[in-house]
């Protein structure tokens, strides 16, 4: 399972970076969100996959290895919420940029570069 997820994460990173390198601003957003998903999935996988053992300690169960680690899931949940907000902002920003600059071609947005 870890191997499959590792490949998925790699593919997500690759796709995200590829999309970010496209000149279109909309693809940039898609790339950013793919990158965020890849990072979340990475945390999920690297902390260890434990199947069907929820982190609820019932009577008699004391060893830590018998249950899933709830911590990475809490981290991911927070990261997803933050990522959602940031991506929502990015979408609005892109919309304003396209309105004001008049194009979604990122190659034409370099008047402020030095």
Partner 1 sequence: MNVLLILPLLIPLSAATLSMFTWRSRRTQRVLGVVGTALLLGSVLMLLRSVSRAGIQVTQVGAWPAPFGITIVADLFSAIMLVLAGITGLSVAVYSMVTVDRARERFGYYPLLHALLMGVCGAFLAGDLFNLYVWFEVMLMASFVLMALGGERAQMEGAIKYVTINLIASALFLAAVGMLYGVVGTLNMADLAQKLRDAPRLDLLTAIAMLFLVAFGIKAAVFPFFFWLPASYHTPPVAVSAIFAGLLTKVGVYALIRVFTLLFVQDLGYTHTIILVLSGLTMVTGVLGAVAQNEIRRVLSFHIISQIGYMTLGLGLFTTAGIAGSIFYIVHHIIVKTNLFLVSGVVYLLRGTFELKNLGGLYSSNPGLAILFLVPALSLAGLPPLSGFFAKLTIVQAGLQAEQYLLVATALMVGLLTLFSMTKIWAEVFWKQAPAGSNAAEATGAVAKRGAAWILLAPIIFLAAITITIGLAVEPVYLLASRAAEQLMDPTEYISRVLERSF
Interacting positions 22-61 with partner 1 (CB under 8 A)? 25, 28, 32, 35-36, 38-40, 42-43, 46-48
Q: What are phi and psi of 53, to 5 degrees?
A: -130, 85
79 touches partner 1 (CB under 8 A): yes
> Token pair of 5, please?
């997820």
What 3-state class would DSSP assign to 32?
Answer: helix
Half-sphere exposure of 112 (CA within 13 A, CB side): 3
Q: Which residues of the shown chain bind partner 1 in the complex (CB under 8 A)?
A: 20, 25, 28, 32, 35-36, 38-40, 42-43, 46-48, 71-72, 75, 78-79, 82, 85-86, 89-90, 93-94, 96-97, 100-101, 106, 109-114
């Amino acid at each position: 399972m870890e191997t499959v997820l590792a490949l998925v994460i790699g593919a997500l990173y690759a796709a995200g970076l590829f999309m970010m390198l496209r000149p279109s601003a909309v693809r940039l957003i898609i790339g950013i969100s793919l990158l965020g998903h890849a990072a979340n999935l990475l945390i999920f996988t690297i902390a260890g996959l434990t199947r069907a053992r929820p982190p609820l300690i019932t009577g008699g169960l004391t060893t830590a290895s018998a249950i899933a680690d709830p911590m990475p899931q809490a981290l991911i949940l927070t990261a997803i919420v933050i990522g959602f907000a940031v991506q929502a902002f990015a979408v609005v920003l892109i919309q304003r940029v396209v309105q004001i600059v008049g194009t979604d071609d990122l190659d034409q947005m370099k008047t402020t570069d030095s």
